[in-house]
Amino acid sequence: MDTMVFDDEPPPEPRDGWLLVRIYVPELNVYKCLQFPSDKVVWDVKQQCLASLPKPETVMR
């Protein structure tokens, strides 16, 4: 996997040819910082960002 994950602050500066994606979900108190190669497909980046978030233990119905 080419993705780099940084959960500690501060995140490093993005390297040349890499994109920095910061995700904050206040309801879950989650902050993620991910770096992706700039040639990565947007759909793949979205899927990996979503996969990096914690999963709820129960589903509300």
Q: Are 31 and 6 in contact (CB under 8 A)?
A: no
- Specify the DSSP element, H or E, that contains 47: helix 42-52
Q: Are 32 and 22 in contact (CB under 8 A)?
A: yes
* Percent of the chain residues past pLDDT 70, beyond the cut: 70
Domain range list for the chain: 18-52
Summarize pLDDT for 44-55 with one digit per residue, the tens. Answer: 888 988 888 888
Tokens of 34: 């991910």
Expressed in percent and rounded to 5, the helix, strand and coil fractions of the chain are: 20, 30, 50
Summarize pLDDT for 5-17 with one digit per residue, the tens. Answer: 555 556 566 678 8
Tokens of 27: 């309801």
pTM flag (> 0.85): no
Q: Dihedrals φ, ψ of 49, to 5°? A: -65, -45
